[in-house]
Structure 1
Amino acid sequence: MSSINGKTIWVTGASSGIGKSLALKLSSYQCNLILSSRNKEELLKVKELCGGSNTISILPLDLTNHHQMEEIAEKAISKFGSVDMLVNNAGISQRSLIIETKVEVYEQLMQINYLGTVALSKAILPHFIANKSGHYVTVTSLMGKFGSPYRSGYCGAKHALHGFFDVMRMEHEKDGVKVTLVCPGFVQTNVAKNALTADGSPQKDDDVATQNGITPELAAKKMISAIEKGKFEVYIGGKEVKGIYLKRFFPKLLHKVVLKSHVR
């Protein structure tokens, strides 16, 4: 029997991309789902695609509203009486050179990708501790492990998530709290189109690497496998995953490989 059965799972960024695919796959399990994003209409569509049952609830959420996270967490808990797992999937990417990027863009990336995720995770932590059980599944990126041009602020925010959640795991293992960090590479989503450019406007255009990435359905499948195995970290993607090991053992070689890749 799957360890997911019987659990209540809260997924952020559930209206599209990996989050949507994860919700669809999880809906085939015997679990309760809470689906969050800023777009209520899209969440309702995802709920219907998942079967529209009373085991699926939507909860609109904007990660920039840090001061509202405790209230949001209470609402999530009230949906089914408990939350067993929080999937921190919501976020936004970037495509701009450092020299051209406004500081306000870096602030926005940190507000959403890092501080919003931290605020939400802290808000649900007392509930996990009280239950002596809880699982954070935080979607970072391969860019949380090594860097790439045009993604400086995105890389910075994702690296920060690794630092925070590694400590979360250490401090609260005694409380039954688990942490799985999910590091996708290129996945066929709208991440590039929605990415912030130097002035904070969306890029609107896709890129070849993203178009040629793995499907969000495959990413979701691999995520569920990692969750069930209780992995600390999982790396998901194509050949770009090799960058993890190049960074660890041959950092200068990785530097040369990334510069030659012309990834935009």
Structure 2
Amino acid sequence: MEGIENKVVWITGASSGLGKALAKECALQGAHVVLSARRLDELENVRISLLHPDRHISVAMDITHESQVRHAYEQVLKEKGRIDWLINNAGLSQRALIVDTTMQTERAIMEIDYFSQVFLTKTVLPTFLAQKSGRIAYVSSITGLLGTQYRASYSAAKAAIHMWANSLRAEVAQDGVNVSVIFPGFVKTNVSFNALNGEGKPQGHQDEAIENGLDAEAFAQQTVEALQKGEEFIVVGGRKEKLGVLVSRISPKILYKMIRKMKVK
């Protein structure tokens, strides 16, 4: 087990949902947590709710603005001196058929779920290489493994970051840097409210599948435990999601017959 006591863990998208749950779990494990998202007030609300709040910091940034990302990185190093784990969690989902999705919406989802993760990693990577240690994790999605209706752009972006992470892992393994990809299934968060429709506007309501999903706290516990064990391919979800991943490996044809019959919106 790779303990994280007194290690610096930087989590993006940390103001709510999966990021907030991961922050709480890492704090319980004794880490120094760096919380990032766009709104400082929301980050501060999370920070003061963590165990030993004074050891954690809030660093606001819009992950799609490269200058803000660079500034945030410099701030983290100035205040903490190092980064041991980077958890790329910030993301944006989708609820729209392909035929109804504008190209502007396609690009917006790819910008947040793929390009911004790539840029932050490239920004932080020299620190990990200089340390010859560290773990970089990406919160992808089960839909990055199994394309479904209403999530084509989201699925594509999450699959893209998975493949990019695989290449990164191969390139930096000899330098002591570890790379993990996390594939959540349905987890109870506000992701459905913020998911973009075809016109690029928030859906504004909860999905039934999300409402009946895994608790965010359970997701965080399973994820942090798997990361501490050094796992690189981490599927976290219910039996249906895990069964889908298994069937995808055995028979994609059978899988997509199953998916066409599922209620996924």
Q: TM-score, structure 1 length as denominator?
A: 0.97
Q: Does 1:65 align with 2:65?
A: yes
SS in 2 for 1:9: strand
TM-superposed deviation, 1:96: 0.3
| Deviations 1:24-56, CA, capped at 9 Å, x for gaps | 121122221100011211111101110463210
Q: Quick check: 2:73–2:124 contact (8 Å CA) kept in 1?
A: yes
Deviation of 1:245 (Å): 1.3
Q: Distance in 2 between matches of 1:157 and 1:63?
A: 15
Query: What percent of counterpart residues are identical?
Result: 38
Partner of residue 247, structure 2: 246
Unaligned stretches of 5+ in structure 2?
Answer: none
| Structure 1 residue 69 displacement after superposition | 2.6
Any gaps of 5 or more consecutive residues in structure 1? none
Please give the alpha-carbon distance, in whole angstroms, between the structure 2 residues aligned to 1:227 and 1:56. 20
Alignment of 1:1-264 (within 5 A): 3-51=3-51, 53-238=53-238, 239-264=240-265
Structure 1 range deviating more: 24-33 or 251-260:
24-33
In 2, the alpha carbon distance for the partners of 1:107 and 1:247 equals 27
Q: Which amino acid in structure 2 is aligned with residue 12 of structure 1?
A: T
> Secondary structure of the residue that 2:219 maps to in structure 1?
helix
Once the 2 structures are TM-superposed, how far is the Cα of residue 2 of structure 1 from its aligned partner?
Answer: 5.8
Note if contact 1:140-1:161 (Cα within 8 Å) is conserved in structure 2. yes
Comparing 244-253 and 49-58, the one that deviates more: 49-58
Give 3-state SS (helix, strand or coil) of 1:115's partner: helix
Deviation >3 Å, runs of 4+: none
Q: Number of paired residues?
A: 264
Read off the aligned partner of 1:257 and give its amino acid letter: M
- Taking the aligned partners of 1:96 and 1:66, their CA distance within structure 2 comes to 28
Query: Aligned partner of 1:153: which letter?
Result: S
Amino acid at match of 2:180: T
- What TM-score do you get using the length of structure 2 for normalisation? 0.97
For the residues of structure 2 that align with 1:25 and 1:241, how far apart are their CA atoms? 23
**Mapped contact 1:66–1:115 kept (Cα < 8 A):** no
